[in-house]
């Protein structure tokens, strides 16, 4: 069976293409949106002094602030010493080892939600290589 010849073929094609584009737009917007735990989260990424990458995000969670920092070196078994600061004061510190096929570790902490902007700094140092990562986020 061939195409219908009613004199409106081009108009019908245009309507069909426009409808398809409008239906696809929300799906494309969702696919392009960054992955966040919540709409109010603020996320930043960057590179360390070597080939390692960092990511940090912060956002409100049940009246407190949740901050998550990730170090991704793509090498399992590396030991990193880290310090998390909130408003310039040490919120926590520790030592973590990169694990899994991704060769990463993450640190999640909840802090008080202070008045105004909350500022976080996460600093990690690879104990073997001396590579330094410094991640900052404000929310």
> Which of the pair, 93 or 40, is modelled with greater confidence?
93
Q: How far apart are CA 70 and CA 79, in angstroms?
A: 14
Strands of 42-47's sheet, edge to edge? 42-47, 53-61, 64-72, 104-112
Looking at residues 128-135, what average pLDDT do you find? 98
What pLDDT is attached to residue 13? 52
Domain ranges, ordered by start, for the chain: 42-138
Q: How far apart are CA 73 and CA 97, in angstroms?
A: 11
Mean predicted lDDT score pLDDT of the chain = 83
- Is the predicted pLDDT of residue 83 greater than 90, yes or no? yes
Q: How far apart are CA 126 and CA 30, in angstroms?
A: 36
Looking at residues 94-117, what average pLDDT do you find? 96
CATH superfamily of domain region 42-138: Immunoglobulins (2.60.40.10)
Residue range 6-43, pLDDT digits in tens:
555 555 454 544 444 444 444 444 333 344 445 789 99
Where b means 16+ CB within 10 Å and e means fewer, 2-31 reads eeeeeeeeeeeeeeeeeeeeeeeeeeeeee
Cβ(69)–Cβ(55) under 8 Å?
Answer: yes
With pLDDT > 70 as the criterion, what percentage of the chain qualifies?
73
């Amino acid at each position: 069976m061939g195409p219908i010849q009613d004199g409106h073929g081009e108009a019908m094609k245009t309507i069909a293409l426009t409808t398809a584009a409008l239906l696809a737009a929300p799906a494309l917007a969702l696919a392009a949106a960054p992955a966040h735990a919540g709409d109010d989260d603020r996320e930043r990424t960057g590179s360390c002094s070597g080939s390692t990458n960092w990511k940090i995000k912060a956002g409100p969670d049940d009246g407190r602030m949740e901050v998550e920092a990730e170090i991704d070196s793509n090498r399992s078994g590396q030991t990193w010493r880290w310090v998390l600061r909130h408003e310039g004061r040490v919120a926590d510190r520790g030592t973590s080892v990169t694990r899994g096929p991704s060769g990463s570790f993450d640190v999640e902490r909840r802090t008080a939600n202070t008045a105004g902007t909350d500022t976080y700094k996460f600093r990690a140092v690879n104990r073997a290589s001396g590579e330094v990562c410094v991640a900052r986020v404000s929310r």
